Structure 1
Amino acid sequence: MPPRLLLLLLSCTVLLVACSHGNIKRVSEPAVSLQQISVASDGRWKVELRLQNYSTVSMVYDAVDLQVTVEGQPAGTLAGRPGFSIGPGAADVVTLDLTPTPTARMAVANALAGSGMLGYALKGKVTVTPVEGAQRSFEIDMHSTLSPAPGLTGVLR
């Protein structure tokens, strides 16, 4: 086979392969974590919930329904309807109110007073709608920790 013909054939093959890998739309499980807990003077919490979109398309976060546990103690339910869109590979925060159980309040107070770590878990579901797609629910089972924020009274991050 002449070199020119081989080069032309190779170039056409590379071009066809490059064109066949268009913009792939992939819906991936979102990540959810507590970004911050702010304790109000009446003991209620303002919880900043971080929503991370790992999909290759924008997703509308329709609803969150999560059981919160701190230091192994049930704290309550974080439920809300954010209703906003998060772009591919991006994150955003929704602030939700939570009236914690007395045992959860004590666990947070101990972490704040002792400048220690606070272990937490989120378990439940997040409902999202991908752009040009059908609504889907994802099960969440996440464990992490928060620490007192230096200089901010009553705040864990």
Structure 2
Amino acid sequence: MKPWKLLTILLIASFLTACATGQRRVSEPTASLQQLSVGADGNWSLDLRLQNYSSIPMRFESIRFALSVGGEAVGTLEAATTLTIGPESADILNLRLAPSAEGRLHAADALASGRSLNYRIDGTIRAAPDDRGSARDYTVRRDSTLSPVPGLPGVMR
């Protein structure tokens, strides 16, 4: 066999081996509010979007966030979970919250006037690679806005 053919075969084989094994990348997960629904009793149902940016599945064990809207602290979002999210994917965690009086006023005002509602979540996500090891805490701080959804009273996205 000619040396250049042997070299070509070896290069192709090593390339295919490298592609097959792939790199395991563990990236910090993040979270955001996807939806806030105000109930008739004034309590909120929140859809928290958990995003896994890792190249492997991640096991989410718990979340704890201080939530503020319009610059006012409204409550704490806290939950234990057994949610596993695939590589570079997201899933939704539904949470209930009895917000502070100030939070209720801010949400009611935004809904009544059709304006956006600024929010901040600040806290931790406890997660681990699904196939190994113990979990660790990832710090998350997110500032964003939710806007009223036309045709869905009491709902902001």
Q: How high is the TM-score relative to the length of structure 2? A: 0.92
Q: Give matches, 1:106-117, under 5 Å.
A: 106-117=105-116
Tell me what 1:11 maps to.
Answer: 9
Name the % identity. 37
* Superposition CA RMSD, Å: 1.5
Deviation, 1:23, is 2.5
Contact 2:27 2:53 in 1 (8 A): yes
Contact 2:65 2:76 in 1 (8 A): yes
Deviation, 1:12, is 1.1
Deviation, 1:10, is 3.1
Q: How high is the TM-score relative to the length of structure 1? A: 0.92
Contact 2:125 2:139 in 1 (8 A): yes
Deviation, 1:73, is 0.9
SS of the residue aligned with 1:77? strand
1:24-63 deviation line (CA, Å, top 9, x unaligned): 2221111200011111111110111111111111112110
SS of the residue aligned with 1:26? coil
Question: 1 CA distance for matches of 2:78 and 2:101?
Answer: 19
Deviation, 1:97, is 0.8
Q: Does 1:136 align with 2:139?
A: no
Deviation, 1:98, is 0.8
Question: 1 CA distance for matches of 2:154 and 2:66?
Answer: 22
* Structure 2: gaps (5+ residues): none
Question: 2 CA distance for matches of 1:64 and 1:19?
Answer: 38
Question: 2 CA distance for matches of 1:136 and 1:150?
Answer: 40
Tell me what 1:72 maps to.
Answer: 71
Tell me what 1:149 maps to.
Answer: 149
Contact 2:38 2:154 in 1 (8 A): yes
SS of the residue aligned with 2:13? helix
Tell me what 1:50 maps to.
Answer: 49
Tell me what 2:35 maps to.
Answer: 36
SS of the residue aligned with 2:81? coil
